[in-house]
Structure 1
Amino acid sequence: MAVSMSRGFLVLPCSSSPSFVGRGTHRPLLSARNVVWSARQVPAHRFVVHAQAQRPTWLPGLDPPPYLDGSLAGDFGFDPLGLGEDPDSLKWYVQAELVHARFAMAGIAGILFTDLLRVTGINNLPVWYEAGAVKYQFANTETLFIVQLFLMGFAETKRYMDFTCPGSQAKEGSFFGLEAALEGLEPGYPGGPLLNPLGLAKDIKNAHDWKLKEIKNGRLAMMAMLGIFVQASVTHVGPIDNLIEHLSDPWHKTIIQTLAGTT
């Protein structure tokens, strides 16, 4: 039997029985003439090991569930409760996460901006968690609540209808003649000059990088929002106040000392 060793190294067949020449004289079974170096005799593909590149997961070395195949933007195989096993439920959870991510990004920007105006004294604004109790002069609380309920209810209804029947809300006459200004791309990604003024990701089917950046920033914003909730509950001040206090004494004004002082 020919034995292959490494690429292009071939040992030719030889006899399995020992051979002797003369008394007490031994001739090796394998000599230099029995060895042939040939790159053509052994196919190179036999010695190539293909290492399949594994996609990144939320926990290195973890095998993602089979229904999370990496096709979704921001899919790192995280579903410890198995909520996405049903394909229809998975589609809805994707849209729900996208909406919550966008609300969190808008909320973080609004809280930081208004808190910065309040701390610097540019505007006498209430701290963010007390803004809902403020009486505004241009309208009473009941009127503001009804208007907000109507506007948000209308937008969410349109979003749900577009989710259940993609493209139905882009038909002529479905949005007071403003369909061309919105130009929905796909469920969860409206466009047009109103919602996509910079014209980013016009080819939404091939805009995986843009989708990935948005969902990453959205998840970070949701975690930041959770942190602001906890800060407000523990310290009873806004995030800019917390930052200023920490910078005044970074080694002693930390989350550890704050939590230890509240126990």
Structure 2
Amino acid sequence: MTQSNTIVVLIDGDRYIRRFVHVSLETAGMTVFDTGTGTQGLAEAATRRADLVIVDLSLPDREGIDVIRELRAWSDMPVIVLSARSGEQDKVAALDAGADDYLTKPFGMAELVARIRAHLRRQTSGGRSWGARIHFGEVTVDLGERKVVRDSQIIHLSPIEFRLLSALARHQGQLLTHHQLFQEVWGPLRADNYHYLRTYMVHLRQKLERDPARPEHIVTETGVGYRLVGVSEVQSP
């Protein structure tokens, strides 16, 4: 995907910020559709076939968290939160709802553009994961097809959840440090923030482990990182 083909939907109640971001992203070669309400933003994201959505948490008609949840019900496109709320609780809530990234206002436009590019690169390359199929517990993961099945049921993973699982699978049995996982999943732009990582690991365990409170396969090495264990089979195409 080239930048000139990138469609971004911007949802922000502040018209000055909306205008600033709109112009800046178009200068960077992207096509931008912006709106000040969550309801219209959801409609734009669907009808414009957006590649990425930027959303504020404080919107005049509804909470940005609800917008993220509704987006996640039908799309895995990257979602970046752009918000004045800087509390840890707000960030964790946004990630829990399905956001891929969180940038606090005031922000640097160069950083926002770089994060957009990084998410789009990973979204584009995600489908080209190595073509192995692995099994652990009641779970089968086809990395090439980006398909996860548990007990004959297809399990939906967000883009970041799938990238984390892919990283663990590629190094199955090996310890991956927090820093290594950040580098593989978020890239060098992301400073290590263990709250991000813990949140997504909780999600993965809830979806894939028989008892998430006592994980058998996605295990923690306290203070160091994580590893995927108990892989019973690896198949190559």
TM-score range, shorter chain: under 0.3
| Bigger Rg over Cα | 1
Question: What TM-score does the superposition give when structure 2 sets the normalisation length?
Answer: 0.23
Question: What TM-score does the superposition give when structure 1 sets the normalisation length?
Answer: 0.21
- By percentage of residues, which structure has more helix? 1
